[in-house]
Structure 1
Amino acid sequence: MPILQLDAVRFAYDGLDMCFDLDVAEGAWIAVIGPSGAGKSTLLDLVAGFVGPDSGRILYRGADMSGMAPSERPVSLVFQENNLFPHLTALQNVLLGLTTRARPGAPLRARAEEALAAVGLAGYGPRRPAAMSGGERQRVALARALVRERPLLLLDEPFAALGPGLRQDMLGLIGQLRERARLTILMVTHQPEDALGHAERIVFIDKGRVALDGPVAELMGPPPHPRLADYLS
């Protein structure tokens, strides 16, 4: 049974009538690509529960979660903007993934410190975002997602603002964390090359539909699938 299924999930927004059918195997890393405005981020928003479908079902391990609040869903997200609170330390920002209390108990602090260590930021807990590089801030945002210990990790272009080398470093880190925590990943990206060497599967979204779905090597080639040739050029 797939860990995640979108069964005829329809959602209309800004003149675009979207309909998604998608099965995601447990442990998969899927790169979601496509033109701007095609519905890629909306797909993640539907899975996360930020918007509700007009019709259709979103299933987690066979159970419909369309009525579940975002905080109750088995997902964590990392966005393009790190959304860190500048007046809080790295540790406090990560703790927001677990609690809204100002003084959490020791077990939660330990989990937050472990999450920072997992993304290569051991000892960074007292630092504030202004004292960190862009890549380090994105690692804190990733730690805040990981500390929730949810099986589905949704990535909405979280490394788009980073240079190619640092972006590949972050994707390599994601791969290590995926193996360690047995994560299933849906990654929206405008850089199709990010799929190479990391994702196993590509989902190409066009005009609110899954236009292509298959293995990275099969769709991206060389030569690329004819439907992708113009997009990749």
Structure 2
Amino acid sequence: MVQTTWHAGSVMTQHHLEIDDLRITLEDAPLLELDAHIGPGEVLAVMGPSGSGKSTLLAWLAGFLTPDFQASGRILLDGRDITLLPAERRGIGLLFQDPLLFPHLSVAGNLRFGIPRAIPDKLERAEAALKQVGLSGFGHRDPATLSGGQKARVALMRLLLSEPRAVLLDEPFSRLDIHLRQEMRQLVFDRLYEAGLPSLLVTHDREDAEAAGGPIIDLTGQ
């Protein structure tokens, strides 16, 4: 059993994500066991080769675990047990390898899509978000005209505008070149810290894991 607790300085919000006594099996064979507490603005990095359970862990946290796997344990978000909630009610955001921007929407349209319905002034919020990541005036653009780094920044701000209470990062830097990778690491981890969001990163890359600045769990040989 792997257990880890990580504490950092104070941030604006105080969200906490806890993985309590998780055990996942596949055809009765143990795959993954984990206990972890992730505090506000902290990133827990989980490393391991293909087949070690990284993607399965994300699927369980996000609410997409297939019936092929059997899981026991709890997910606590801000002290609330969300283990049995459907994915859309968990309050967990995801950032993937690909930006997954909607091709039929403008850049601003992609950002507005992420904003909860009850929030007013969606266009103003979208424009402010673009300004924060150096993309002022890009709202009208077709996502297909953006560079890889620009798409990644839009995807990040869409995630943050959706107001999640925790974030899962699925190899979000793996498709970027070395320069962009370093830039996006800094941007993503800084924004998550500022927003006070507990986050879990799965990656094959130790540099990504170390750049997150939090604890690292290596599933190799578990």
TM-score, normalisation: structure 2: 0.81
SS at match of 1:54: strand
Match runs of 1:181-192 below 5 Å: 181-192=195-206
Aligned equivalent of 1:80: 97
Moved more, 31-40 or 107-116: 107-116
Aligned equivalent of 1:96: 113
Q: What percentage of residue pairs aligned between the two structures are identical?
A: 40
Deviation at 1:35?
0.5
Aligned equivalent of 1:64: 81
Which digits, 9 at most, give the CA deviation of each residue in 1:197-218, with x for residues without a partner? 43221011246xxx4xxxxxxx
1:113 correspondence with 2:127: yes
Query: Tell me, which stretches of 5 or more residues in structure 2 are unaligned?
Result: 7-15
What residue identity is the alignment partner of 1:19? L
**What is the rounded CA distance, in whole Å, between the counterparts of 2:188 and 2:99 in structure 1?**
16
Aligned equivalent of 2:13: none
**What is the rounded CA distance, in whole Å, between the counterparts of 2:96 and 2:210 in structure 1?**
21
1:10 correspondence with 2:23: yes
TM-score, normalisation: structure 1: 0.77
Pairwise CA RMSD: 2.6
Q: Is the CA contact (8 Å cut-off) linking 1:119 and 1:142 kept in structure 2?
A: no
Match runs of 1:196-211 below 5 Å: 196-206=210-220, 211=222
What residue identity is the alignment partner of 1:96? F
Deviation at 1:61?
2.7
The count of corresponding residues between Structure 1 and Structure 2 is 205
**What is the rounded CA distance, in whole Å, between the counterparts of 2:26 and 2:71 in structure 1?**
10
Deviation at 1:24?
2.1
Deviation at 1:71?
1.7
Query: Tell me, which stretches of 5 or more residues in structure 1 are unaligned?
Result: 212-233
What residue identity is the alignment partner of 2:174? A
Aligned equivalent of 2:143: 129
**What is the rounded CA distance, in whole Å, between the counterparts of 2:29 and 2:148 in structure 1?**
34
Aligned equivalent of 2:45: 31
Query: Whose relative contact order is higher, 1 or 2, with alpha carbons under 8 Å and at least 6 apart?
Result: 2
